[in-house]
Structure 1
Amino acid sequence: MTTGTLLLFIPACFALNMAPGPNNLLSVSNATRYGFWSASVAGVGRLIAFVGMIAIAAAGLATVLQTSEILFYAVKVVGAAYLFYLAFQLWRAAPANESTKRADSRQSIFSLARQEFLVAAGNPKAILIFTAFLPQFVDMSKPAVPQFAVLGALFLGLEWIAIAAYAYMGSHLRKWFSEPRRQQIFNRTCGSLLGVAGIGLLAARRSTSGA
């Protein structure tokens, strides 16, 4: 893998990391409710899911997901159902005062990380993206696994920056949404967007390109 390849990979990868999606939306929502650090640490759950997906892509096992209609359908239905569940929870969430937010933040890091993990793992298109995107930067004349390891590590590092960026945006929105009515509107907006993401996931079709 050459320096030129990495210089092409990094900006393309970061653009992919920063693209709006269910997980980034979840980071914004969590930051407005629990603060920057809670949302950022919760992003570890997403990274764990992505580590598994990168390993699957490196092993070539994603072809199973590409060719198995039943498996693809099962994963996307479960993922969409979980997004609908989160959307419903956000829609009906009652505005919380600052003391409640601080208490919840201390008690719910694991549950927030689990949410991030499940949202990422429940999206079969994410595995297909890794299958289509990462191999473009792998020199097939050299051992593929070490190259996947380097590219995967860079992807995870850039994803962490994206998590922090979205959490930072959410933490600033938190001040504006401290008024209960605004907070409720924001929660319901995020819930609606997660619901739309769930519908989009249900509408997703298998693609040999992973797009």
Structure 2
Amino acid sequence: MPLETLLLFVPACFALNLAFGPNNLLSMTIGARHGLRSALLAAAGRLVAFAMMIAIAAFGMGALLIASEVAFTVVKVLGAAYLVWLGVRILRAKVDLPLDAPEPGGQGLRGFIRQEFLVAIGNPKAILIFTAFFPQFVVPEHYWGSFLILGAIFLTLELVAIALYAFAGTRLSVMMRNARGLRWINRISGSTMIAFGALLAVARRPAA
């Protein structure tokens, strides 16, 4: 892949990785409540979901979400419903737990990984990024190799973005030392997650 192509792709891609969205909010929230290590390990769920989406886009099936209003709407509604449910769950979380305690309902690292995966896989706009953004940098003569390189770069930069958001979350941990601070963190995180769900619910399918 030409160097000039990579020099254009990397900064544009990292801007997408750093964009504030439900997954990055989730990393920040986990980082604040359970530390950097937990947030980074939980992000495995997101990386798996994005890797699957990149593979789908590479095989051309991502175009289905662009071409089919029904397919886009089904994924969109399910994703929006999950974000709202997750936001409500955060809002209702107990505030008298120690920082290293598991969440109510048996939540733990496995649950965080599942949350990251479901939040990522439930957003049809994510796969549209891979379908519309990646092809601009693919070298036709080396299609599969290009997609593999672009995908690897995206996932690497995504991990960097995850670490930055999770670290920012750990800086909020001082507020978590008292019930009032924890209650406000829950209110902000839960409300924002619900807002993301509402925005996703009204999102329109891109023109084919």
CA deviations on 1:100-153 (whole Å, 9 max, x unpaired) are x3242897111101000000000001111111111111122x121111000000
Tell me the distance in 2 between the aligned counterparts of 1:103 and 1:181: 18
Partner of 1:40: 40
For normalisation by structure 1, the TM-score amounts to 0.94
Partner of 2:125: 125
Q: Given residue 67 of structure 2, which amino acid in structure 1 is its aligned partner?
A: T
Q: Given residue 158 of structure 1, which amino acid in structure 2 is its aligned partner?
A: L
Partner of 1:87: 87
> Once the two structures are aligned, what percentage of the paired residues are identical?
50
Q: Given residue 64 of structure 1, which amino acid in structure 2 is its aligned partner?
A: L
Would you say how many aligned residue pairs link Structure 1 and Structure 2? Answer: 206
Tell me the distance in 2 between the aligned counterparts of 1:87 and 1:178: 22
2:23–2:116 CA contact under 8 A, matched in 1? yes
2:31–2:167 CA contact under 8 A, matched in 1? yes
Tell me the distance in 1 between the aligned counterparts of 2:68 and 2:122: 16
2:33–2:176 CA contact under 8 A, matched in 1? no
CA deviations on 1:16-62 (whole Å, 9 max, x unpaired) are 10010000001111111111110111011000000011001111111
Tell me the distance in 1 between the aligned counterparts of 2:107 and 2:79: 25
Partner of 1:146: 145
Aligned to 2:38, what secondary structure does the other structure show?
Answer: helix
2:86–2:193 CA contact under 8 A, matched in 1? yes
2:45–2:113 CA contact under 8 A, matched in 1? yes
Tell me the distance in 1 between the aligned counterparts of 2:13 and 2:207: 20
Tell me the distance in 2 between the aligned counterparts of 1:57 and 1:121: 13
Partner of 1:72: 72
Partner of 1:31: 31
For normalisation by structure 2, the TM-score amounts to 0.95
Tell me the distance in 1 between the aligned counterparts of 2:151 and 2:49: 12
Q: Given residue 72 of structure 2, which amino acid in structure 1 is its aligned partner?
A: F
1:169 CA displacement: 0.3
2:88–2:190 CA contact under 8 A, matched in 1? yes
1:200 to 2:194 alignment: no
Partner of 2:189: 190
Tell me the distance in 1 between the aligned counterparts of 2:79 and 2:97: 31
Partner of 1:174: 173
CA deviations on 1:126-185 (whole Å, 9 max, x unpaired) are 111111111111122x12111100000000000000001000000110123321111111
Tell me the distance in 1 between the aligned counterparts of 2:171 and 2:189: 16
Tell me the distance in 1 between the aligned counterparts of 2:102 and 2:193: 22
CA deviations on 1:173-208 (whole Å, 9 max, x unpaired) are 012332111111111111111111001101111114
Tell me the distance in 2 between the aligned counterparts of 1:180 and 1:207: 44
1:158 to 2:157 alignment: yes
Tell me the distance in 2 between the aligned counterparts of 1:43 and 1:207: 28
- Segments of 4+ in structure 1 off by > 4 A? none
